[in-house]
Amino acid sequence: MAAKTDIQASKNSLRATGAIFALPDYAVVEVTGRDAERFLHSQTTNDVKGMKGSDGQSSALLDRKAHVLALFDVFRLHEKYMLLIPSGQWEKVIAQLDAFRFADKVEFEKREGNLFAVQGPRARRLLMQAGAKTADDLALPMSELTLFGIAASVFSKSLTGEEGYVVFVDEKHSEQFWKEIQKAAPKLGFVEPDEKAIDTARIEAGLVSFGVDLTDENLMPETGLDVSHVSYTKGCFLGQEVLARVKSHGAPSRGLVGLLFKDFEGCRTQVPFKLNTEILHESQPIGWIQSNCFSPSLNKYVALAYVKREYRIVGKSFAVSIDGKPFNIEIALLPFITPPTAAQRARQLYEEALESFAKEKDDDETSHAESLLREALMLEPTMEDAYEALGVILSRRNRLDEAVTLMKALVDLNADSVMAHANLSVFYMQQGLIEQAEEEKAISMSIRMRMAAKEATRERQEEEEKKRQKEEAVGRMDMFSQVLEIDSEDLLANSGMGNCLVTLDEFERALPYLQKAIEVKPTHTVAYVDLAKAFAGLNRKEEAAETLQKGIEVASKRGDMMPLKQMQAQLKELN
């Protein structure tokens, strides 16, 4: 049985290795019928028609005024649609869909069974050991697999911010599956966190819980979930008109953000705050606390909160009063933490393996470096550096057959891997297989030549694309010039002219146009992005940083997530 633990920075924590836990409040609803795609597309908030053979998307149901009725995920596997529904909402979802079915040929059926979460850096590894044949099986949003000899539907779904999966098993085999995974998980350092630890991980990841952080009284735009759950281009659905109006008029009066508490000691005596506890600044309410907890990952107390627009400035600190006690809070963009991706973790393991290998002797009975590299390949199956390093280890230990098998596996994944064919040539030569060695060497040289030609073509295409963009910018400038002759205060013409000049690397000329655009409309976030680029291009880094900070403040208040994230990335690069 996996060890019981809370979320902590320890060897066997959820964020270091992984966690398994049951999901009794989750349900899977299968949607079938010839009109299933069209019906789901018309009733849910996201673009169902845009889903491919195996795909997944976050979605929602809204009422006519754009209040959130339910949150869930839609998965497609070929012609089958599955709704993964949390928080005991499945009955409401089916009832809402059924109310609008009319003459549509579509059926909804809750599948009888149980759901289990497999979350954390080693989640993929555990499921591969359980029966998933390759990492590719788990790279799909939804797969039908056999795990521990039991048929299972596997959904790619993070509930903690880490890479994660939700596994559905029918009622008959659920108990056996849980026993098997409890047996296998501890060998990889997995834990079984309690409810508090699971909720802490959720809050750190900035994931909302329906019925806790939002209810059917919340408008979709104030939750910020429209960025991930809504398609604004798909056409009509219930609540779409209100969403479009809110988007065109800017941010709602309040929105969901993160709060970082700077008074850790004070907060420890206050936890947990009750839901919807009022936040006062200068005796006026500026926000309402939702999910909150102490974050072991940040060593700070954190909260999700709805904050009024004028105070929703990322990075801004406020002295506030909560429950009659003073606190210092900082507004933060969600999520609070962003764990490394599978590729980043694989690179870390690779670097650790190289350090470990340098200390190992060829006659050591075991190799820690080998274990690290194999784990890296579980996370990133096409990581050529890891294959090469592992091949070297195997060959130095005279395990040439294994080294050859390893390189052949890479060739199966990437037939154009120069490194794989070159190493096969070396390994065959060491085995005395001269003919095979020469053949692999020739293949390697052929691929190198072909890749060199491709690289030359790519560089030429990049130059042509840059040339096309500059020619297009010059053409657009003529149009903007004509507009500015008529109205020098025109917002779009000033912003567009500045953007064109930035594209042409004429940064000095771009400045007055972009500054005028911001003067005309101080909330025009795109102009801040281009103005910062112009200052950076002139090596005026302080002015670039100041522009970005102002732009971030504006985008935070408006809820313009795309330019906000872009400006934060620019600021990080400047610093």
Question: What are 412-440's pLDDT values in tens digits?
Answer: 888 999 999 999 999 999 999 999 999 99
CA 251/CA 310 separation, integer angstroms: 10
| CA distances from residue 133 to 129, 542, 572 in whole angstroms, order as listed | 8, 53, 40
Identify the pLDDT of residue 78: 87
Over 60: is that where the pLDDT of 446 sits? yes
Same domain, 116 and 9: yes
Question: What are 483-538's pLDDT values in tens digits?
Answer: 999 999 999 999 999 999 999 999 999 999 999 999 999 999 999 999 999 999 99
* Peptide bond between residue 335 and the one before it cis (omega within 30 degrees of 0): yes
Same domain, 513 and 422: no
Same domain, 43 and 168: yes
Same domain, 559 and 504: yes
Same domain, 235 and 364: no
Give the pLDDT mean for 218-234.
94
Following CA atoms 113, 225, 561, 305 in sequence, which dihedral angle do they give, to the nearest 10 degrees? -110
Give the pLDDT mean for 176-180.
98
Helix, strand, or coil here: 444?
helix
Same domain, 278 and 153: no
Q: How many domains does the chain have?
A: 4
- Supply the CATH number for residue 395's domain: 1.25.40.10
pLDDT band at 463 (very low <50, low <70, confident <90, very high): very high
Same domain, 155 and 192: yes
Same domain, 259 and 374: no
pTM: 0.83
> What is the token pair recorded at 45?
């908030």
pLDDT band at 544 (very low <50, low <70, confident <90, very high): very high
- Nearby residues of 125 by Cβ (< 8 Å), 6 or more positions away: 188, 375, 378, 379
Same domain, 419 and 518: no
Identify the pLDDT of residue 1: 57
Kindly tell me the sign of the dihedral angle through the C-alpha atoms of 510, 512, 517, 518.
positive
Asked which of 262-271, 323-332, 387-396 is least confident by mean pLDDT, the reply is: 262-271
Identify the pLDDT of residue 254: 94
Same domain, 416 and 555: no
CA 89/CA 463 separation, integer angstroms: 53
- Supply the CATH number for residue 25's domain: 3.30.1360.120
Binning the chain into helix, strand and coil, the percentages to the nearest 5 are 50, 20, 30
Over 60: is that where the pLDDT of 406 sits? yes
Give the pLDDT mean for 36-50.
97
**Residue 215, in any domain of the structure:** yes
Identify the pLDDT of residue 105: 94
Residue listed under structure tokens 């789901």: 40
Over 50: is that where the pLDDT of 10 sits? no
Same domain, 60 and 135: yes
Full residue range of the structural domain in which residue 536 is found: 487-574
Identify the pLDDT of residue 422: 95
Give the pLDDT mean for 291-304.
93
**Residue 326, in any domain of the structure:** yes
Q: Which of 203, 232, 258 is the last residue of a domain?
A: 203
